[in-house]
Amino acid sequence: MDPPGFALESYDPIGRFRPRYRSLEIGDRLQQVPRSAGARHWNFKLGLPVDASGELADARRFADIREFRQLLLSDERQLARNLAQHLVVYATGTPVGFSDRPELENLLEKAKKNQYGVRSLIHEVVQSGLFLNR
């Protein structure tokens, strides 16, 4: 399963927060909201509560997007490593291989002094051998 998917379940397809799913048949009827001229009226009910809880691969559990965010932020280097890998793939068009790991770790060590900021990660990727020699 995809833990970020579970954490983001509280948001509908256009990014609005939703504490409950929508239903066409079963659920609590909404109070009528005055419609503005030309606005569409969707006839739906409030269904079951959204369950945004999940578990990461290392068995750490979260109840919602806030707890998921805190779990991700607890390991800044891993988060920076993931972003750097994606930047390398975007910049070079090739995946990061096993032999590229030492260069990637060197890149991360240099970016550490700037708290792994996106600007410093981009700069280090562009200055690295991963980018210059591919």
Q: What is the pTM of this model?
A: 0.67
Q: Does 80 lie in the same domain as 34?
A: no
Q: Does 47 lie in the same domain as 21?
A: yes
Give percent helix, percent strand, percent coil of the chain, each to the nearest 5. Answer: 45, 15, 40
Q: Does 94 lie in the same domain as 64?
A: no
Q: Does 122 lie in the same domain as 103?
A: yes
Domain boundary among 46, 73, 100: 73
User: Domain of 127?
Assistant: 76-132
Is residue 1 scored above 90 in pLDDT? no
Q: Does 93 lie in the same domain as 39?
A: no
Domain boundary among 73, 97, 120: 73
Q: Does 82 lie in the same domain as 67?
A: no
Q: Does 62 lie in the same domain as 13?
A: yes
Q: Does 35 lie in the same domain as 22?
A: yes
Is residue 103 scored above 90 in pLDDT? yes
Residues forming beta bridges with residue 11, ordered by sequence position: 17
Q: Does 62 lie in the same domain as 92?
A: no
Is residue 27 scored above 80 in pLDDT? no
Please compute the mean of the pLDDT values over residues 64-80 and round it to a whole number: 92
Q: Does 91 lie in the same domain as 68?
A: no
Domain boundary among 51, 73, 95: 73
Is residue 117 scored above 90 in pLDDT? yes
Domain count along the chain:
2
Please compute the mean of the pLDDT values over residues 49-66 and round it to a whole number: 90
Pick from 128, 87, 86, 134: nearest CA to 109: 128
